[in-house]
Amino acid sequence: MKNQVINKAEKVIASTYKRFPLVFEKGRGCTLWDVDGHEYTDFVAGIAVCNLGHANPEIAKALSLQADLLFHVSNLYYTIPQTELADWLVKHSFADRVFFCNSGAEANEAAIKLARKNSHDRGSRDRFKIITMEKSFHGRTFATLSATGQEKIREGYDPVLSGFDFVPFNDIEALKQKMSDTVCAVMLEPVQGEGGVVCPAPEYIREVRRLCDQAGALLIFDEVQTGIGRTGKFFAYEHFNVEPDIMTLAKALGNGLPIGAMLAKEEIASAFQAGAHASTFGGTPVITAAALEVVKLFERENILEHCRQLGAYFKERLMFLKEKHTVVDDVRGIGLLLGVKLKTAGAPIVAECMNKGFLINCTQGNILRFIPPLIITREEIDSLVSCLDEILSFTKGELN
């Protein structure tokens, strides 16, 4: 069965992914099963998407109930689930308005457009540049890949869109040098996920906010990966006692269903009047009903506290590996967005973990990234750490 599916997929699906030779059939919680019945503990969670685990029964119920009522009517009309989800997000964040779309890239696209439109409407037509960070990742649409600070993402698409400047992350002096009266916004991830699980100094984020205020520029936080509880707070900006002007969400908001959201303060959001931006499928009743259940589950089941406790425990266990194995260069991250920097390539470790029934991820070539469902248990963490300990011990001579 597995080979049949893989062979057919290779013939009919665009070759935009380098896939592992696994065909998954079902999941529950933090566990996945492939078509051959093999079991895997998932520390990838659909790339920080399934924060409440696979096949969550309460989300499935909310989805099913809404699907039996109404799928889609377009944004020419109001619907209850979309309104209730927007209301929840506004009440639990800095924002006053929400724009719904279908992905993180679309949410970032909306943020870029809003920043420029806001500047235009205020009479600053020469103020259009957006400063983003080196090693950032904001998406693969033309605007968002142009905003992404990684050459490999932009390669082959020249000329990319102009109007974006890049500075090193966590370097306030570099940002100061780029700020000018042509800059309308600074856009950054509070923690760089794809960039290698890079956490900034708290004072850096506060200084970015101060610098934006001083220069009259907007501050945009891309929380596509960090938002919805991943760092131990519902939004990562809460760690820094700083509020952005615009924030983008996606990934875990739908727990596997396609949804994105751009949130903004009223004075900024007002630049988007009727016809300024749109999305046919943005915030459909079925998807927003499920997403509403996602955010309510966080409150009912105290997910954030669990994430904080298990994140601290997981990081402690990864530090054990660093102390024991010289090939481990660094352990970093916050909540359940954790990374282990290796002194060698990470791909062989990922492959060996997969062979032993654990799914992990590698980014930037040598950073093992751990982004499990936020409902992960100590036992599941201990099992993975034992597996990594064995792999690093067994391959010590080869890796060093």
Q: Active-site positions?
A: 137, 222, 251
Biggest alpha carbon distance in the chain? 64
Q: Structure tokens of 36?
A: 């051959």
Alpha carbons 212 and 186: distance in angstroms, whole number:
7
Q: Which residues make Cβ contacts (< 8 Å) with residue 153, sequence separation at least 6?
A: 137, 140, 145
How far CA 342 is from CA of 311, 333, 339, 385, in Å, comes to 20, 14, 10, 15
Structural contact between residues 335 and 308, judged by C-beta atoms closer than 8 angstroms: yes
Angle at 222 between CA 268 and CA 238, to 5 degrees: 85
Q: What is the DSSP letter of 132?
A: E
Q: Which of helix, strand or coil describes residue 238?
A: helix
Rounded CA gap, 279 and 103, in Å?
11
From the CB of residue 331, how many other CB atoms can be counted at a distance below 10 Å? 21
**Reduced to 3 states, what is the DSSP secondary structure of residue 207?**
helix
The C-alpha R_g of the chain, in whole angstroms, comes to 21
CA nearest to 261, candidates 87, 131, 119, 379: 87
Find the helix or strand (DSSP H, E) in which 42 lies: strand 39-42
254 alpha-carbon distance from chain centroid: 12
CA angle, corner 361, sides to 6 and 152, nearest 5? 85
Tokens of 299: 């409150």
Contact 317, 370 (CB under 8 A): no
- Give phi and psi for 25, each to the nearest 5: -115, -35
Give the C-alpha separation, 94 to 342, whole Å.
37
Distances 354 to 169, 189, 200, 230 between C-alpha atoms, Å: 32, 29, 31, 23
CB atoms within 10 A of CB 88: 16
